[in-house]
Structure 1
Amino acid sequence: MRQATFSSDEDASQYLADYIIKKINQFNPTSSKPFILGLPTGSSPEGIYKRLIEANKKGLISFKNVITFNMDEYLNLSPQNPQSYHYFMYDKFFNHIDIPKENINILNGLTQDIEKECNDYESKIKKYGKIHLFLGGLGPEGHLAFNEKGSTRNSKTRKVELAESTIKANSRFFNNDLSQVPKFALSVGISTILDNSEEICLIVLGESKKFALNKTINGKPNDSNFPSSYLQDHSNVLIVCDNAAAGLKFKL
């Protein structure tokens, strides 16, 4: 597990955006050999998406031969709902780059057949062989995607019940009204991430992530109480964080 720590969230976001650009360009994707990219939602990756958009507009990177798979989606929110992860991804990223719509994969929160939706998502990932780079965030209590406390190492894409802490944290996007936050979501599993990804990159920003980051790196391996600890079981993980998340403080 490698770690790169920066004095600001802006520098951390720039570093990881540049890293992703380099990885895609070195791969030199084509229509018959696309680059497979896993993506998260949330406030932490927004700076990365902003910089990838700028690079795309400058011609420094193209997403025409990139296939994306998002980590999760709320259950029973339509793609047009501003709080859905469909809406977030198109608003913050996809609408501003040259990626073909058919290359975008996000779980359908309105599906009438949850089991089939989840199984089909797993199968589609496996059809491409491997996710070349899976970008992720980190929840304050160590959850990856919506893999909450108690998630097992062999978990796959499935319906999950959101923990009270997650609902409370996400209520800020729902006018701080806990009753408006969905209680269930569809999420890739721990196995989906670890066993299908050649490389996993985490963007971890802010003091609120300090506890989770420490558990991820230094905590007991494969501790279901802190799902991010499963990352210790992967051979190629890069964590990019700022000083606040790393617990570093500097006096002038």
Structure 2
Amino acid sequence: MKLIIENDAGTAATAAAQLIAEEIGTHDTPVLGLATGRTMEGIYARLAQAHEQGTLDFSCVTSFNLDEYVGLSAEDPRSYHYYMQDHLFRFVNIDLHRTHLPDGAATDLDAECAAYEAQIARSGGIDLQLLGIGDTGHIGFNEPPSSFDTRTRCVELDEATREQNAAMFGGDPNAVPHEALTMGVGTILDARRLLLVATGPAKAGIVAKALEGPITPEVSASAIRLHKNYVIILDEASAAELSPATLAHAQRNA
């Protein structure tokens, strides 16, 4: 594990964006796994800025997003398709034909999930998978319990997750779709490199549980500790409940 602790959410976002930019620069045709949520917005803003400044080229990048709500079309402002356009894709020179998200409006969800797995395989697999961590300890929408060999599938969202994501739905958890399509834990672990980013005091408890508790399907983020090549970027607030032993091995840029 490489653990990096930055001073605040802004510097954590900068560090994550730099790592992603470096990954893009090391491949002729880089394949990125992308995530959504408030933590990612600062990262994408910095990537867009680097592109605007002429230091980052997305023209050969292929992307696969982790998840999408069931029942929302790509044009719905609450969808992750819309989120990615709004926060990254429209600001960079990525070929939209190379961007992929699960289709939550598909008539056959099982077929859509199988097709998504096949698309990832045809791309040669994901070079770097960006991850956040949810309040239930999930990566993607892999709610507890999620077996570590799961593939892209339809899942039922936990009540805590719908409460966490209610802001995009007028603050009403009941308006959040009850289901989503998500890469499975096994799909995520197939990526050649993982980057998990968490910021803010609200994430401190679940970060400590994921990094120091049992490796268990009850906390799907704990599965990243089974990976051979992963980086975790935190700010001081989200690292606040880690043990002295863990902190002793961290790279602190505060």
What CA distance in whole angstroms lies between the structure 1 residues aligned with 2:15 and 2:153? 32
State yes or no: 1:202 paired with 2:190: no
Specify every segment of 5 or more residues in structure 1 that has no aligned partner in the other structure, as ranges: none
Give the deviation of 1:225 after TM superposition.
1.1
Give the deviation of 1:248 after TM superposition.
6.9
Tell me the TM-score normalised to structure 1 length.
0.94
What CA distance in whole angstroms lies between the structure 1 residues aligned with 2:85 and 2:145? 31
Q: Residues 84-103 of structure 1: matches in 2 within 5 Å?
A: 84-103=79-98
Q: Residues 1-252 of structure 1: matches in 2 within 5 Å?
A: 1-27=1-27, 29=28, 34-195=29-190, 197-221=191-215, 223-247=216-240
What CA distance in whole angstroms lies between the structure 2 residues aligned with 1:66 and 1:113? 28
What CA distance in whole angstroms lies between the structure 2 residues aligned with 1:55 and 1:235? 29
Partner amino acid, structure 1, of 2:83: F
Q: Is the 8 A contact 1:142 1:216 kept in 2?
A: yes
Partner amino acid, structure 2, of 1:230: A
Q: Is the 8 A contact 1:199 1:236 kept in 2?
A: yes
Partner amino acid, structure 2, of 1:186: L
Give the deviation of 1:157 after TM superposition.
0.3
What CA distance in whole angstroms lies between the structure 2 residues aligned with 1:178 and 1:104? 29
Q: Is the 8 A contact 2:203 2:238 kept in 1?
A: yes
Cα deviation, 1:95-142, whole Å, max 9, x if unaligned, reads 110001101001101101111110010011111222110011111221
Identity %: 36
* RMSD (Å) for aligned C-alpha atoms: 1.2
Structure 1 runs (4+) deviating above 3 angstroms are: none
Cα deviation, 1:27-65, whole Å, max 9, x if unaligned, reads 2x2xxxx10000000000111100000000111011100
Partner amino acid, structure 2, of 1:63: F
What CA distance in whole angstroms lies between the structure 2 residues aligned with 1:202 and 1:162? 21
Cα deviation, 1:164-198, whole Å, max 9, x if unaligned, reads 10011111221121221100010000000002x11
Q: Secondary structure at the match of 1:246?
A: coil
Partner amino acid, structure 2, of 1:182: P
What CA distance in whole angstroms lies between the structure 2 residues aligned with 1:218 and 1:52? 31
What CA distance in whole angstroms lies between the structure 2 residues aligned with 1:179 and 1:171? 8
What CA distance in whole angstroms lies between the structure 2 residues aligned with 1:179 and 1:128? 37
Give the deviation of 1:144 after TM superposition.
0.4
Give the deviation of 1:152 after TM superposition.
0.5
Partner amino acid, structure 2, of 1:146: F
Decide which moves more: 236-245 or 168-177. 168-177
- How many residues are treated as equivalent by the alignment? 242
